[in-house]
Copies of this chain bind each other. A is one copy, B any other.
């Protein structure tokens, strides 16, 4: 295949198209490493202090779960589906629905919910992204608008 044929552009996409973004396990080491750097609060960094909190145990920073959703998006939408993503523009809404704790297996899925013309070179694709826990319950949901190249 030529490089052209491995990529999908704005004009190739349709509303309702969905992408399986795969699964990954969240470890205690990753939760504390992220939080020590970007969200240094005891419920994210200190298992003993977290056990005394209302959560009763260590929970991942919400921004860590959001960052994991981006890693899944890059793998599933950019690398596997070959969509010509240029840049994120905006998150319309992001909700943290349930805490993420060590050992959770997170599974992510994205669906195209909107397509907007932008200019001759790019369009805006609206994705609804959901990250679910082992039990299938949503832990994070977000809607984002992303610039995608045109042919």
**In the complex, A92→B85 CA distance in Å?**
23
One of A11-19, A36-44, A107-115, A123-131 contacting the partner: A36-44
Residues 27-58 of A at the B interface (beta carbon under 8 Å)? 34, 37-41, 54
| Least distance between A116 CB and chain B CB atoms (Å) | 16
A62 contacts which chain B residues (CB < 8 A)?
A: 87-88
A40 contacts which chain B residues (CB < 8 A)?
A: 71, 74
**In the complex, A133→B39 CA distance in Å?**
21
- Known contacts A61-B70, A71-B39; is-contact A90 B86 (Cβ 8 Å): no
Interface on chain A toward B: helix, strand, loop, or mixed SS? mixed
**In the complex, A91→B90 CA distance in Å?**
11
Q: Which residues does A use to contact B, with CB under 8 Å?
A: 34, 37-41, 54, 61-63, 66-68, 70-71, 74, 78, 85-96, 142
Q: Can you list 18 contacts pairing A with B, beta carbon distance less than 8 Å?
A: A34-B67, A37-B67, A37-B71, A38-B71, A41-B74, A62-B88, A63-B63, A63-B66, A63-B67, A66-B66, A88-B96, A89-B96, A90-B94, A90-B95, A91-B91, A91-B93, A91-B94, A91-B95
